[in-house]
Each structure stands twice: as structure tokens, then as C-alpha cells.
Amino acid sequence: MTYSADIAPIIYGNCTRCHRTGQVAPFTLASYADVKTHAPTIAAVTQSHYMPPWKANPGWAPFRDERRLTDTQIGLIRQWVAAGMPQGDPAIEPPVPVFPDTWQLGTPDLILTMPAAYKVAADGPDIYRNFVLRTGLTDDHYVRAIELKPSARAAVHHVLFFSDTTGQARLLDGQDGQPGFPGIGSVFTLGASNPTAAIANALAGGLGGWVPGTTPEFLPTGIAYALPGGADLILQTHFHPDGKTEMEQTQIGLYFTTKPDKQITQVQAPAFFGIQANIDIPAGSSNYLVRGSFTFPVDVDAFSISAHTHYLGRGTRLTATLPSGEVRVLLSITDWDFNWQDTYIFKDILTLPKGTRIDGELIYDNSASNPKNPNTPAQRVKWGENSTDEMGSLILNVVPHQQSDSLALQAAVVAYALNKAPLVGNKPQFVSAGVVDGASAQAGAVTPGKVVVLYGNRVGPATLATGQISNSKLSTNVGNTQVLFDGTPAPLLYTSSGQVGAIVPYKLDGQLGTQVQVKSGTLTSDAVALPVAPVAPSLFTADLSGSGQGVILNQDGVTVNSSAHPAPAGSIVVIYATGAGQTSPAGVDGQLANGPVYPKPAQNVAVTIGGLPAEVLYAGAAPTLVAGVMQINARIPAGVSPGDATVDVAVGGIHSQAGVTVAVK
């Protein structure tokens, strides 16, 4: 393994675009010497997935130009560093990428620079300042991308782009003796004769914006922002003093295209960055939820999505429930980072039919355990525009499928933005990302018969209550708690105030989505949309983490497999799993497997151990256990080496989670 043959293609294909002179990254990665100097750091940050900066979770909506390394690529970097970072033959090294200039998207069609630098004080309150850049354009233009270069990047919190055709911004510019003019929101109302028109203009998205971590991208073909002839470009800049005096003189590049057929509309859930959601986070709260939902009155085509919170944000997710009942996860971020807020452009235009409901979920952590919490000790935080305040929204950019529907779409979005978002109150609370596989501990689509755990607040009694068996069936009401999938009660394993263990009803077989609610006492949670998959196998593990030693019995059926009690190669082991989907005969919710007939997965089951195909002697319901728990009896291949051997179970070609092992001697 060498740099030239194995590592250079990874670095040049994923890192050099930003790690070069004139870009955001703190050092260059354009040669073997560069990479060798920083190799230990590169190995560490790629292993932790901190780099490349791509926060959207995999497995949901595909995005264009994803900056995500594969497990194989990460492993190659780690192995290369451990091997002493050999260079190999420079003659076979791929060429270093050549970029036209310091602009990431190439030379812009129009480059504008603030006429004068603005002085940002070393400390003090956050600053909102509007800067006026005269475009000199007399005709209408249409913007397909904007690239921004702040000169004092550390002090710039975010920038929003707007156009002004009224000339009023010019009159305000410099009136206090400094470049630009103060205020937030003023760009929404320049020249507006009524609040509704101002809101409509704001919700149209202006010309987009820049936040830390943004990577400039071209909009899809046929979609562009309008920049009217004679308009000035307004930069609404939010400064957060960084401890030293800074001089900011922003440069901005605009890339033009032909006139599009349809107008962009921006939909936020909740609206206006959560101002209508009454964000008020108590000190110490680690699981504060904000939600917002909007139903499209017309067919729309979605082309990009983003999210925004401040330092207390922990995770965000936007789902779409189609009129057919199908649920799609459009964006899921479980490791939010304020410094890496990107706009994600869908790989393909996503059509959402009339009646589609989008649900935005944002979780905040205002506890001392949040290392990003700006307050020590933690303090009550409310909605506000400063970095130490909070706000939050999922932002979906769409165009109407039919241009004739533009006014109806905008009117519906304005009406939605003017209304307060419903509050969770004292109802049970959980989010879609808080519904995890009971075996792998990972969030994902639910499957008929799958064991799942719902994490939240007030989802059950104060003290743990365990499921009860009656007439060979597991109860669906435990501790006065129920979990409802499309109104159908699920068998419950246990329940407490913070989590519920449930088994997904077999009724969901054939569906593509479900609406889940928790009923605790007399209170019922909001409905949470979850995608449904036919199968999603996962293996139970000894420490409940979803990886490492599996819950596996040795051939005697009594001894638990472990490093202290390994199984001989060639012997039979018993593996326990869930998520095999519908069975034959059809599964019965909560039924204990007592024979004489034991249901088996409707789809084929295959097993590999140590990378080698294993003989499957039995795959079906686990005797005496509840429906949804699968037992697989498989023979360890004779060629498996001693030690921890990986175990993979595939049902219908869908594989279980990686990293589960069996001890072999």
C-alpha cells in the first residue's frame, strides 16, 4: 500500500478542493509531502467522520456530490499511516487537480466586492449589518450559484443575500459613518407596502445565503434565483466577535444562467427559523424538541434542503409523508455541528405530490454534558438572533410542478408562516431519529415484526414496567402505555418514562410508511412519520451496542459464545436476530413461538462467518420467544481462523449491521 497508488486518489478526489491556497481549510493537501505532514491528523479525523465535512446521514435521500468517504477508503488511510506512510512510485500518482483559480466553482460571471471594509470590534454583542453592492446590471439576470469569500471568516456568523430594486438601501448606506446600515430583517421590508408581501418575498428565499461550512454548488438545470435589472445586491451579515478586531470586506461571485420557467419557494419547518415555535429551552434540558409541519397544496419539485440551529442543536430530521402513505426521510443529521451547515442538493429532482406533509424535527441539548454549550453553567435559552440564543428550522427549496400553481403555493406558505407552531406541552415526546433498532441500536426504517426501542420524554411510567404474557401472547398495554402504528397497538416488552421497547405490528407488511404515536395515560404524542421496509435484519449483541460479540449460543445450546467460551470451527452456533419481515405462516403480533409449527422468514436467509459462506440448518422463529425474534442455526465454516470472526446475516439480499462477531477456536 502506497501514497501514489492508494492514498493520492482519495485525497485529490475528496480533500484538495478545500485544502488548497485561498480556500477555507487551514493547510494544503496537494502533494505527498503535504499529506505526510498531516497524516496522523487525517487518519484520526476521517476515522471519526469529522472529515470530510458531510453531516447528512447515509441511507436516506441521495445527494449530489456527496463528500463522504467509504469504510474501505477510511481503512486504507489508517493502514497507510500505520505502515509508515510509504510514498511508492511517483510516476503512477494521479495528477493533482487543477482549479481555474481560487474560486471553487471557476471564474464567476460577475465579481462584486464591498466598497469599503467594515470594522468588527474584538468583543461585545453580535452585530447585524446590511451592505449594499451595486451590480451595474441593467437587464434581468438569473443566478444559478453564488460563492462568497469573507475576509474575516472567524467573525462572520452567516450572510443572507437579497436584491433591492427600490433604491432605499442606497439611502440608508453609510448614514452612521460606517459602511452599510444596521438592523436585521430590514431587507425583508425594503419597499414593501404590506406585511404579507414582505413575508412572501422573504419566503421566496431571496438569493440564498452562506453559513460556516457551506460548499458552493450550482442549482439544478432550469432552476435559478431572479436578480432584476437595476437591482442592488444586499448582504445581510451577522457578525459574532471573535476576540480580536477584524476588518471585513466581503467578495462575492455570481454565476448566471438563462431565465427559468418556475419561481423558487422556500418552505421552513418550523417557519421563520422557529420564531413561531416559542423556543424556550430550560437549563439542563438535554432532549428539547421543536417540530413544524406543512402540507403542500399543489404538486412541487424539491431540489435542495438544509438545516439551521445554533450551538445547542443536537440533531435534525425532515420527513415527507406522501398521500399514498409512503414516508421518505429527506434529511437526517444526528451529529449536528454549528460550524458545518451545508445546503444539500438532491441527486435527482424530488417530486412531492399535492397533499404531501413534511415534518421538521429539531432536538436541542442545553445540558452541561453538551461540550458545545456556550453557557457554563447552563442557562435558560430562548429564541433569538445572537449565537448564544437559539433558533432552528429545516429548509426545503421547491418549485411548483406547474408554474400556474405558484400563487397558490406562496399563499399557503405565507399563511403557514403566520401561524404559531403547535407546542409539545406535557404530551409524550419522541422523534423519528429516536426510534432505533432493538438489536443494532441504529435508527432506520421499521420492519414488520422488528424489535424497536423508542427514546423520548414522558413516554411511559416513572418506574420501569415489563410486558406481560396472557394466552401465549405479549400484552400491548404496559404501565398504562401503548405504542400505536397507524392506530394498531404494538406488543410491548417494557416501558418507562424515557424509553419503550416494542415489536412492530405485522400489519405494516407491504406498506412504505407508518405514523407512530405513544399513548401514556390520557395523553397521546404527536404522530411521528417513519419509513417501512420489507426486511431489515439486525443481530443482537452481548453489550446491546449493536456491534462486537453477538448474542450467540454454542452447539450445546447452553454455553454462551464468548472469548472465554469460543466455538470450534465446523460446529453449529445459534444466532439471534430481528427484522426478518413477514413470515410463513404469517406472523401474529405478540405470539410466543411454542410450536408445533414455527414461522420462517418469507424471504431467503443466508449467513457468512469470517467472510465464508456458512451452512444454514434452521432460520425461523426462536422457540419460546416472541414473534419477531429470529433464530438462525448455522455451521461455522471449517476454514474460519481462530479469534473474533465477523457474522453477517442476509434476508432477501439485505444484510445485517457490520461489526458483529462470534468467538472461534
Which of 501, 531, 561 is at the close of a domain? 531
Determine the Cα–Cα distance for residues 518 and 555; give it in Å rounded to an integer: 41
Residue 55: which domain range? 3-92
Q: What CATH number corresponds to the domain at position 155?
A: 2.60.120
Mean pLDDT of 531-552: 96
Determine the Cα–Cα distance for residues 210 and 312; give it in Å rounded to an integer: 20
Mean pLDDT of 495-520: 97
Give every CB contact of residue 258 below 8 A, 6+ residues apart in sequence. 142, 224
70 and 41 in a single domain? The answer is yes
Handedness of CA 77, 79, 84, 85 (dihedral sign): negative
Output the pLDDT for position 517. 97
DSSP letter for each residue of 7-75: IHHHHHHHTTTTSSTTSSSSS---SHHHHHHTHHHHHHHHHTT-SS---SPTTSS-BTT-----HHHHH
**What SS3 class is residue 372?**
coil
448 and 565 in a single domain? The answer is no
Mean pLDDT of 531-551: 96
Decide: 270 and 360 in contact? Cβ < 8 Å: yes
Which of 216, 233, 257 is at the close of a domain? 257
Q: What is the CA radius of gyration of the chain?
A: 28
The answer to whether residue 435 sits within a structural domain is yes
Q: Is 205 a residue whose pLDDT tops 70?
A: no
514 and 593 in a single domain? The answer is no
Output the pLDDT for position 417. 86
The answer to whether residue 105 sits within a structural domain is no
270 and 406 in a single domain? The answer is yes
The answer to whether residue 172 sits within a structural domain is yes
The answer to whether residue 423 sits within a structural domain is no
**What SS3 class is residue 188?**
helix
Task: Give the three cell numbers for residue 545.
Answer: 451496542
Decide: 231 and 207 in contact? Cβ < 8 Å: no
Query: pLDDT tens digits for 441-464?
Result: 999 899 999 999 999 999 999 999
Work out the percent of the chain whose per-residue pLDDT is above 70: 95
Q: For residue 637, name the pLDDT band (cuts at 50, 70, 90).
A: very high
Phi-psi region of 610 (alpha: psi -120 to 50; beta: other; left: phi over 0): left
Which of 418, 451, 474 is at the close of a domain? 418
Q: For residue 26, name the pLDDT band (cuts at 50, 70, 90).
A: confident
Determine the Cα–Cα distance for residues 643 and 648; give it in Å rounded to an integer: 16
Mean pLDDT of 272-295: 91
Q: What are the backbone dihedrals phi and psi of residue 187, each rounded to the nearest 5 degrees, phi first?
A: -70, -20
114 and 223 in a single domain? The answer is yes
Query: Which position has the higher pLDDT, 90 or 25?
Result: 90
The answer to whether residue 101 sits within a structural domain is no
Helices marked H in 537-638: none
Query: Which position has the higher pLDDT, 47 or 322?
Result: 322
Helices and strands in the chain: count of H runs, count of E runs: 8, 45
Q: Is 478 a residue whose pLDDT tops 60?
A: yes
Q: In degrees, to the nearest 5, what angle opens at C-alpha 362 toward C-alphas 357 and 367?
A: 160
Q: For residue 198, name the pLDDT band (cuts at 50, 70, 90).
A: low
Strand pairing category for 548-549 and 660-664: parallel
Determine the Cα–Cα distance for residues 515 and 459; give it in Å rounded to an integer: 16
392 and 440 in a single domain? The answer is no
588 and 631 in a single domain? The answer is yes
Q: Is 18 a residue whose pLDDT tops 90?
A: no
Q: What are the backbone dihedrals phi and psi of residue 155, each rounded to the nearest 5 degrees, phi first?
A: -100, -10
- Among residues 305, 279, 230, the alpha carbon closest in space to that of 64 is found at 305
Q: How far is CA 585 from CA 351, 488, 532, 581, in A?
A: 38, 21, 21, 12
Q: Is 524 a residue whose pLDDT tops 90?
A: yes
Output the pLDDT for position 202. 57
The answer to whether residue 103 sits within a structural domain is no
Determine the Cα–Cα distance for residues 266 and 208; give it in Å rounded to an integer: 10
454 and 585 in a single domain? The answer is no
Determine the Cα–Cα distance for residues 345 and 219; give it in Å rounded to an integer: 8
300 and 386 in a single domain? The answer is yes
Residue/partner pairs of 182-189 with CB below 8 Å, 24 or more apart: 182/127, 182/128, 182/129, 182/130, 183/128, 183/130, 184/128, 184/236, 184/238, 184/385, 186/130, 187/130, 187/160, 187/162, 187/234, 187/236, 188/162
Burial of 176 (0-12, 13-18, 19+ CB in 10 A): exposed
341 and 410 in a single domain? The answer is yes
Strand pairing category for 246-248 and 118-120: antiparallel
Q: Is 111 a residue whose pLDDT tops 90?
A: yes
116 and 219 in a single domain? The answer is yes
The answer to whether residue 359 sits within a structural domain is yes
Total-model pTM: 0.86
Q: What CATH number corresponds to the domain at position 349?
A: 2.60.120.230
- Among residues 219, 328, 317, 331, the alpha carbon closest in space to that of 264 is found at 219
Q: Is 195 a residue whose pLDDT tops 70?
A: no
The answer to whether residue 543 sits within a structural domain is yes
54 and 148 in a single domain? The answer is no
Q: What CATH number corresponds to the domain at position 507?
A: 2.60.40
Query: pLDDT tens digits for 136-160?
Result: 999 999 999 999 988 887 788 788 8
Query: pLDDT tens digits for 226-271?
Result: 898 999 999 989 888 888 999 999 999 999 999 998 888 889 999 8
The total number of structural domains in the chain stands at: 5
Q: Is 516 a residue whose pLDDT tops 90?
A: yes
Output the pLDDT for position 156. 86
Output the pLDDT for position 212. 62
Whether the bond into 228 is cis, omega within 30 of 0: no
Q: What are the backbone dihedrals phi and psi of residue 493, each rounded to the nearest 5 degrees, phi first?
A: -85, -40
